[in-house]
């Protein structure tokens, strides 16, 4: 199992299922950690709550972040990721339904690396995931984060 894991932050169980299916169809076998809301995502990244025993030296290769989340919403999660020195360099891809101009702006302003709108059509969605996987998991280089063992 490759150490390059994916953190998927998504509250809609259908969307989670579809995303995992799309990843499988693209032969992307990286470990996918699913956080069902913003608080869980942060707990995972910083080793709190139910993830208190996690080795927090290990970080995901990429974070797929939905915007509309219960408890702590997507932008707040992003803000906290970007303000913590340990996590601020982590690649975050905003994966969301909204094409609203203000979400786009706020996403980039808060420090997202990329913004992708989830298409309704599943085939297009699979195609989008393929591109995502290829780019962020294979092509993109990330800096050596403290404590990451290759």
Partner 1 sequence: MTTRSIDKFISRLKKFSQIAGTIVTLVGAMVLLGWMFDITTLKSVFPGLVSMKPNTSLGFIFSGLSLLFLNFKKSNPITQRIAQASAVIVGLIGLLTFYQYISGQGLGIDQLLFKEPPGTVGTYAPGRMAATTALNFLLIGLALLFLFNPKGYKTAQSLTVIAGLIGLLNLMGYLYGVKTLYGVATHTQMALHTALAFVIIGFGILCSRPEAGFMRLVISDTVGAIMLRRLLPIAILAPFLFGWLRIIGQKENLYGMEFGTALVAIANITIFVTLIWYNAKKLHAADLERKKIEEENRNFFTLSLDMLCIAGFDGYFKKLNPSWEKTLGFTVKELCAKPFVDFVHRDDRERTIAEAGKLATGRETISFENRYLCKDGSYKWILWNSVPSMEGRLIYANARDITERKRVEEEIKKLNEDLRKQASQLEAANKELEAFSYSVSHDLRAPLRSIDGFSLALLEDYGDKLDQEGKGNLGRVRAGCKRMSQLIDDMLNLSRLTRAEMRPEKVNLTALAQEIISELKNAEPGRKVEVSISDNLFAHCDLRLISAVLENLLNNAWKYTSKHTKAKIEIGSLNQNGKPVFYVKDDGAGFDMRYADKLFGAFQRLHRMDEFEGNGVGLATVKRVIHRHGGKVWAEAEPEKGATFYFTL
Q: Which spans of this chain sit near partner 1 (rule: CB under 8 A)? A: 12, 14-15, 17-18, 21, 67-68, 96-100, 118-123, 125
Count other C-beta atoms under 10 Å from residue 132's C-beta. Answer: 22
Which is nearer to partner 1, 90 or 129 (by Cβ)? 129
Instruction: Report the C-alpha gap between 59 and 145 in whole angstroms.
Output: 8
Which is nearer to partner 1, 89 or 104 (by Cβ)? 104
Which is nearer to partner 1, 14 or 141 (by Cβ)? 14
Measured from the CB of residue 59, what is the shortest distance to partner 1 in angstroms?
A: 28
Measured from the CB of residue 90, what is the shortest distance to partner 1 in angstroms?
A: 24
Which is nearer to partner 1, 45 or 126 (by Cβ)? 126
Measured from the CB of residue 119, what is the shortest distance to partner 1 in angstroms?
A: 8
Measured from the CB of residue 29, what is the shortest distance to partner 1 in angstroms?
A: 19
Measured from the CB of residue 127, what is the shortest distance to partner 1 in angstroms?
A: 12
Which is nearer to partner 1, 65 or 90 (by Cβ)? 65
Q: Are 77 and 86 in contact (CB under 8 A)?
A: no
């Amino acid at each position: 199992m490759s150490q390059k894991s994916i953190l998927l932050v998504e509250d809609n169980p259908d969307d989670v299922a579809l995303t995992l299916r799309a990843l499988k169809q693209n032969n992307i076998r990286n470990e996918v950690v699913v956080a069902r809301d913003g608080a869980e995502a942060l707990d995972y990244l910083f080793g709190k709550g139910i993830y208190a025993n996690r080795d927090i030296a290990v970080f995901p290769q990429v974070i797929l972040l939905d915007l509309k989340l219960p408890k702590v919403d997507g932008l707040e999660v992003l803000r906290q990721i970007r303000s913590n020195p340990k996590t601020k360099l982590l690649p975050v891809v905003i994966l969301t339904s909204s094409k609203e101009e203000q979400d786009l702006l706020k996403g980039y302003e808060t420090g997202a690396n990329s913004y992708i709108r989830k298409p309704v059509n599943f085939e297009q969605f699979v195609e989008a995931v393929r591109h995502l996987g290829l780019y962020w998991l294979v092509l993109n280089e990330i800096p050596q984060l403290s404590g990451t063992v290759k």
